[in-house]
Structure 1
Amino acid sequence: MQRLKRATISAGVLMAATAIVPVVSASPASAHAPCGVSVDDKDSRTWRATGGGANMRSGSSTSCSIKGTAGSGQRLDYHCYTLGKDGHTWTFLRNDSTGKTGWVRDDLLSDGGSFEDCGL
């Protein structure tokens, strides 16, 4: 069974979906990570990025500084995710190829990023 992480659903779609299947509530993602925030590793999984050069930032916002990149095929160690002010989820990770850490928007990671909430 595939595990669902989270999704943004419009009210109309949600109403249509509830008529077909029951809705299971999940805990919401934690608050955004301000620029300069690092978090502990809560996710024991390691993945391979396919973002092809996704920017790793100092917080969960495109206004935060770029600390490095997550290149295609590089080994990434996911720590956890949070919800950015932009409404997208972001994963804090360490690029094992470069040793750099930072936040990457989950839609730039081929597997959707971490499934562990940072709890910020």
Structure 2
Amino acid sequence: MRRRVKLAALAVGVLAVPTGLVVSTAGAASANASCGRTGPNLDNTVVSMAAGVSANMRSGSSTSCGVKGWADNRDSLDYYCYTWDANSASWTYLYNRSDGTYGWVKDSLLPNNGSTKHCGF
């Protein structure tokens, strides 16, 4: 269900006009967290990373951004919000309570597919 909500938010970026024209707006797909950008704490979800699973925590919502830490092996993760990358994949900004690091993790690697609260960018 959470994935459907995110996909629906992404689809809002294109509007059909009654005349048959399609008008494109600056939707969520064009927004991302540039390297070094943090996200606001909009979500109160705390999860535990699955045992044996590891994901890089990055400085922005892209694999080209530097690695700041890791979310792995039952770490306690506090979700803040999500945004999109240039390829329309969603990423969650989070706080790793187990080691005190903050960073962006691709939602496909997170429990429950990451945060359900959009960062606003």
* Same fold (TM > 0.5): yes
Q: CA-atom RMSD, angstroms? A: 1.9
The answer to whether the 8 Å contact 1:29/1:81 transfers is no
The answer to whether the 8 Å contact 2:61/2:104 transfers is yes
For residues 85 and 5 of structure 2, the distance between their equivalents in structure 1, rounded to whole angstroms, comes to: 15
Moved segments of 4+, more than 3 Å: none
State the TM-score, normalizing by the size of structure 2. 0.75
For residues 28 and 6 of structure 2, the distance between their equivalents in structure 1, rounded to whole angstroms, comes to: 8
Aligned partner of 2:83 in structure 1 is 82
Aligned partner of 1:61 in structure 2 is 62
1:111 positional shift: 1.2
Q: How many residues align?
A: 100
* Identical residues among aligned pairs (%): 44
Structure with greater strand share of residues: 2
Structure 2: runs of 5+ lacking an equivalent: 9-26
Aligned partner of 1:24 in structure 2 is none
Aligned partner of 1:36 in structure 2 is 36
Q: 1:32-52 CA distances to partner (integer Å, 9 max, x unpaired)?
A: 000000122100111112271
The answer to whether the 8 Å contact 1:29/1:117 transfers is no
1:93 aligns with 2:94: yes
The answer to whether the 8 Å contact 2:47/2:111 transfers is no
State the TM-score, normalizing by the size of structure 1. 0.76
